[in-house]
Amino acid sequence: MVRCPRPRPNPAAPRRDLRKVRVHVQRLRGGGGGGGRGLGDQLPRLEGPTPGGLSRRARFRLHFPQLALRRRLGQLSCMSKPALKLRSWPLTVLYYLLPLGALRPLSRVGWRPVSRVALYKSVPTRLLSRAWGRLNQVELPHWLRRPVYSLYIWTFGVNMKEAAVEDLHHYRNLSEFFRRKLKPQARPVCGLHSVISPSDGKILNFGQVKNCEVEQVKGVTYSLESFLGPRTPSEDLPFPPATPHSSFRSQLVTREGNELYHCVIYLAPGDYHCFHSPTDWTVSHRRHFPGSLMSVNPGMARWIKELFCHNERVVLTGDWKHGFFSLTAVGATNVGSIRIYFDRDLHTNSPRYSKGSYNDFSFVTHANKEGIPMRKGEHLGEFNLGSTIVLIFEAPKDFNFRLQAGQKIRFGEALGSL
């Protein structure tokens, strides 16, 4: 019996791992022309243990979802801005709505949520406000008016004893109820002070304009030029001639020794929605800024910088006995309708106007070379729901406000005097 010796392994010959060959074959099959294979056919079959204690199959399953997310997020970065915003919205909304940390694994693969401010700015507030305006015009059944209006009165604390018509069945729709008139004796106009409050509301801020910036709430400012818009020759205002190095504030102050003052009044949904002339002055120019219709409540004003410059607004400018005077009605969510009684050409929250532009109209004509005279306390315009009034005016240095930040004020009460 002859025994054949076993062949000794040749150290020079390369050793081939059958598992690696098997993985290589599976990858080639998965990447071939057969488009009908699923992801499961492309996964390599790894069986051997690793030094970390997990099998290679388990490690691959842990890493594969992150690789897939990275690939999908890489596709998002190549999309156009509208498509990218549309694809990232659902994840961002879930990120802020779900419990803390629920979507934290997404941050490990490079995804970052859109900021709350950017997310809120992207909401179509103009379209929603137009839809709300259409809803307000729908006539309510007679039996439904009292329950609906009573709920609104209870929610926002409306005092119907001041209304000219207290019967709730008199108001055919929500729009008429929002724009209800008051009894004549409900708001006496103060005759001792030169400037009165043009509306009911809450004082957010007041004082001198410094460094061409105005405070919308304490610690949050916006640019005066961005808010009022650039000066144009067509405004027909008594401005001094502009120089290349002059500040915007110096272009508004017409008399030496005067200062520029401002006052911000927030109208809550339960307040009286009409606004009146705060003093005796002449309106010579109107500028309409189409824009967003974000909420203007004090909390939102602290959150979004230059909120009043982003929102739609109507700027009325003119002069009073001490120089420049302006009143700006700022729109808000569901308050796209800003009405000025003597301006029939004004149409706010209209689809034909685009954001970032403005439209000028002069009340100074050949027939009327002075403009529109307004008496103190005279009806000027109205909002739908609630919004903000911003006064910016010129006055001597000894002008004093008789206010406190955060106080409630009613139309006709004194704002300040000399």
* Active-site hit among 277, 284, 326, 387: 387
Structural tokens at position 281? 């002055």
Structural tokens at position 16? 């081939």
Q: Positive or negative, the Cα torsion across 376, 281, 332, 308? A: negative
User: Rounded distance, CA 380 to CA 42, Å?
Assistant: 72
Residue 266 to residues 7, 50, 180, 205, 408, Cα–Cα distance (Å): 96, 67, 18, 10, 9
* Active-site hit among 276, 285, 288, 310: 276
Give Cα 354 to chain centroid, integer Å: 15
Contact status, residue 227 vs residue 309, Cβ threshold 8 Å? yes
Contact status, residue 334 vs residue 273, Cβ threshold 8 Å? no
User: Rounded distance, CA 226 to CA 309, Å?
Assistant: 6
Q: What is the DSSP string of 86-109?
A: HHHHHHHHHHHHSPTTTTHHHHTT
Structural tokens at position 109? 């693969």
* Active-site hit among 129, 194, 200, 295: 200
Q: Is 285 annotated as catalytic?
A: no
Alpha helices by DSSP H, 307-392 = 307-310
Structural tokens at position 219? 């610690």
Question: Strand order of the sheet with strand 379-382?
Answer: 274-276, 379-382, 339-340
Q: Is 366 annotated as catalytic?
A: no
Burial 175-184 (b: 16+ CB within 10 A, else e): bebbbbebee
Q: What is the DSSP string of 279-307?
A: SSEEEEEEEEE--B----SHHHHHHSTTH
- The vertex-82 CA angle with 310 and 133, nearest 5°, equals 50
Q: Is 142 annotated as catalytic?
A: no
The set of catalytic residues is 200, 276, 387
